[in-house]
């Protein structure tokens, strides 16, 4: 009986540890948040929403925030990002960013066509943060951000 309790405890602990680890590395099961050249590598979902909505212009280390998004009208991945991060349609997200840019509140995000282009822009720009959707390749742990609930 004692060994059964210990076994159950160990199994539950293992399940909790593995589910926390996998969740903390991804925003959701389909989204991974990646970044370049800023100090903090751990964010809450609320902070990520705030960053991607243009509420943060500079990182703590002084680098300016540069947002990289895959945002195409017909792309299913773009629709998923628009819904998950902005709770809007792709067209509404584009209008949202046009409003911020014309108000002078934020620099326009870099819009790219696919995940590979997101990673290329991140490599070339300090302070860049981007979203990968359904990315199957292994990511460098230096660029992958931890997202806490």
What does the pLDDT look like over 68-124, one tens digit per residue?
Answer: 998 887 788 899 989 988 999 999 999 999 999 999 889 989 999 899 999 999 888
pLDDT above 70 covers a percentage of the chain that reads 73
Cα separation, 79 vs 117, whole angstroms: 18
pLDDT at 52 over 90: yes
- Claim: this prediction has a pTM higher than 0.85: no
pLDDT above 90 covers a percentage of the chain that reads 30
pLDDT score recorded for residue 32: 86
Sign of CA dihedral 39, 96, 131, 27: positive
Cα separation, 111 vs 127, whole angstroms: 16
Name all domains of the chain by residue range, CATH numbers in brackets.
Answer: 2-148 (3.40.190.10)
Cα separation, 9 vs 92, whole angstroms: 48
Q: What is the CA radius of gyration of the chain?
A: 18
Beta bridge partners of 130: 34, 68
């Amino acid at each position: 009986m004692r060994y059964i309790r210990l076994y159950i405890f160990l199994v539950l602990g293992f399940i909790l540890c593995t589910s926390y680890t996998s969740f903390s590395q991804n925003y959701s099961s389909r989204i991974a948040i990646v970044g370049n050249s800023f100090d903090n590598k751990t964010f809450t979902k609320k902070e990520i929403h705030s960053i991607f909505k243009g509420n943060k212009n500079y990182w703590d280390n002084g680098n300016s925030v540069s947002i990289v998004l895959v945002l195409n009208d017909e792309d299913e991945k773009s629709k998923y990002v628009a819904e998950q991060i902005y709770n809007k349609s792709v067209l509404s997200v584009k209008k949202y960013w046009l409003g911020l840019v014309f108000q002078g509140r934020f620099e326009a995000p870099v819009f790219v066509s696919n995940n590979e282009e997101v990673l290329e822009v991140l490599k070339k720009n300090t302070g860049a943060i981007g979203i990968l959707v359904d990315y199957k390749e292994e990511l460098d742990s230096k660029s992958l951000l931890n997202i806490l609930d």
